Amino acid sequence: MKANLVLIGNGMAGAKLLEELMKSCPEQYNITVFGNEPYGNYNRIMLSPLLAGEKSLTEIMIFDRQWYQDNGITLHAGEEKAVVEINRIHKTVIAKDGTQAPYDKLIIATGSKPFILPIEGNQLNGVMSFRDISDVEKMISATKTKRKAVVIGAGLLGLEAAMGLSGRGMDVTVVHNNAVPLNRQLDQEAGQLLTEELSSRGLSFKMNANTKAILGNPQGDVTSIVFEDGSALETDLVIMAIGIRPNIQLAQEAGIYCEKGIVVSDTLQTYDPSIYALGECIQHRGGTFGLVAPLYDQANVLANHFSEHGVAQFQSLPTATKLKVTGINLFSVGNFLGTEKSEFLYYRDKQKQIYKKLVIENNRIIGAVMYGETAEGSFYNELLDNKTDLTEIRPYLMFGRALCEEQAKFQQGEH
């Protein structure tokens, strides 16, 4: 008899797991999926092109509803199908509308929630996050009647929201509590190049600013935003893109051990041996996750475990960030700021707006950041992951893989 496998959450991590299970053990489980959005599975990374009008909803779908049907997977999708209770004694999950599903193995993939600043005015009409399709629909609708927008947060999501709104004719200011946009991925010099480029495309920036309150009119609509330094900006729309928090409420209510996220082992198992978790809702060896690459790694590990093809283990490695902010190439990995012991190699071409920095310690790369030209990113990432000794290739590092490999062959007497 087939075991019952229930998946709570129909985001990218969960869908990747389903895809891997369909490849490795399509007949092994009765699979039931609960998702709180009324769709199949879509590519959340493509929300920005959706906002910008470059993609349609159909184009960003990974698996439509028909895919689930074709693969014999039961999909419960929509707000009323959101799971509200995990009954661990009876091994059953219960949705908002009363739908129930028994499980032998349960996977929690509830993702994350956008962080909303706990300030006055955060409930006003026109304050929104940028996290799912309904957020994008609200933003597109607002651009038809509103003129000014403030985006809080100059991370990747914030900048993409800002460019999308600007492209739809709004006057957009990006507010950030750091001097450097994308400060988790870029150093000051690369950040400055990015700011200049985006300013030339029509964005305004207010950096090193902390938001104090959002003000509204008697009708409850946003009218302005006030900062700690006393300054203010008129605005009709406030988009908060200041990070995410693991969505652990359901797991906590079921008595599953959580800290910042749902705590899991190297095989993605929670403290309940029947329950697993993956994606942005988990905490593994103290870390939480927001990029797609580690989520897909987790899905592969779990699929390996469930299909009983040996036991793979999830490892958290430094994840390279390769970003394409509206046609601007950026790459960073590891400790790109360095330490007191670090040595730095730089390449700058101001005319072409190219900047590269490699951070070296003990003759090994520990970090890299690149702006404008990122073709060698994967090479530097390999050197970092493999802890490669740079002795033979150091003078050629900035010129990339081809020259370094040529030099290594030369040193080994192959010429």
What are the structure tokens assigned to 227, written together? 């900062």
User: Do 171 and 263 have their domain in common?
Assistant: no
pLDDT at 414 over 70: no
- pTM comes to 0.89
11 close to 17: Cβ distance less than 8 angstroms: no
Q: What tokens does 252 get? A: 């906590």
| β strands within 241-373, DSSP E | 244-246, 262-264, 275-277, 282-284, 321-325, 328-334, 343-349, 354-361, 364-371
Q: Which of 102-106, 237-241, 356-360, 392-396 comes out lowest in average pLDDT?
A: 392-396
Distance CA(141)–CA(132), nearest Å, equals 15
pLDDT digits (tens, 9 = 90+) for 341-392: 999 999 999 999 999 999 999 999 999 999 999 999 999 999 999 999 998 8
Nearest to 185 by CA among 194, 173, 172: 194
Residues 72, 60: Cα–Cα separation, whole Å: 23
Distances (CA, A) of 204 to 6, 182, 409: 46, 15, 50
Banded model confidence at residue 235, pLDDT cuts 50, 70, 90: very high
DSSP string, 157-179: HHHHHHHHHHHTT-EEEEE-SSS
Q: What percent of the chain has pLDDT over 90?
A: 87
Amino acid identity, residue 155?
G
- Find the CATH number of the domain harbouring 99: 3.50.50.60
The residue segments making up the domain with residue 269 are 3-113+244-306
> Do strands 61-63 and 41-42 pair parallel, antiparallel, or not at all (unpaired)?
antiparallel
- Based on the fold, state whether residues 7 and 103 are members of the same structural domain: yes
Q: Which of 192, 197, 193, 198 is nearest to 174 (CA)?
A: 198
Q: Looking at residue 364, which CATH number applies to its domain?
A: 3.30.390.30
How confident is the model over 26-44, as pLDDT tens digits? 999 999 999 999 999 999 9
Average pLDDT of span 308-330: 78
Q: Is the pLDDT of residue 324 over 70?
A: no
- Shared domain for 52 and 109, answered yes or no, is yes
